[in-house]
Amino acid sequence: MANLYNSEGYFSPTEYEAMTRIEKEEKAARKAANFRPIVYICSPYAGNIEQNTENAKKYSRFAVDNHCLPITPHIYFTQFMNDEDERAEAVLMNNILLSHCCELWVFGDVISKGMSEEIKQAKRKYMKIRYFTEEMEEKMRISEIIAGLMSLRKDAESHIGLDDDFNDVFYHDIKVLDAVIAELRKKECRKPCKEEHHHSRSACPVCGNADLGKEKNFMHCPKCNGIFEKEENE
Are residues 40 and 115 in contact, defined by beta-carbon separation less than 8 angstroms?
A: no
pLDDT, average across residues 193-206: 44
DSSP state of 203: S
How is domain 38-132 classified at the architecture level of CATH? Answer: 3-Layer(aba) Sandwich (3.40)
pLDDT of res. 112: 87
Looking at the chain, the whole-number percentage of residues with pLDDT higher than 90 is 18
pLDDT of res. 192: 39
Sequence-ordered alpha helix ranges (H) in 35-141: 49-65, 73-76, 87-99, 113-124
pLDDT, average across residues 73-81: 87
DSSP state of 215: G
pLDDT of res. 221: 55
CA torsion sign, 38 to 42 to 43 to 49?
positive
Are residues 14 and 6 in contact, defined by beta-carbon separation less than 8 angstroms?
A: no
pLDDT of res. 194: 35
Judged by average pLDDT, the poorest of 23-27, 54-58, 131-135 is 23-27
pLDDT tens figures, 57-72: 999 999 999 989 999 9
Are residues 202 and 216 in contact, defined by beta-carbon separation less than 8 angstroms?
A: yes
pLDDT of res. 2: 57
Mean pLDDT of the chain: 76
Reduced to 3 DSSP states, what percent helix, strand and coil does the chain have, rounded to the nearest 5? 55, 10, 40
3-state secondary structure of 152: helix
- Residues 12 and 24: their CA atoms lie apart, in Å, by 18
- Residues 173 and 154: their CA atoms lie apart, in Å, by 11
Per-residue pLDDT for 104 more than 80?
yes
pLDDT tens figures, 125-177: 888 898 998 898 887 777 777 888 888 888 888 888 877 778 888 888 888 88
pLDDT tens figures, 28-44: 667 666 678 899 999 99
Query: How would residue 54 be classed by pLDDT, with cut points 50, 70 and 90?
Result: very high
Per-residue pLDDT for 208 more than 70?
no
- Residues 153 and 155: their CA atoms lie apart, in Å, by 5
Q: CA angle, corner 15, sides to 14 and 17, nearest 5?
A: 65
pLDDT of res. 217: 42
Written as one letter, the residue type at 187 is: K
Taking the domains of the chain in order of start, what are their residue ranges?
38-132, 142-189, 200-227
DSSP per position, 165-210: GGHHHHHHHHHHHHHHHHHHHHHHHPPPPHHHH---TTS-TTT---
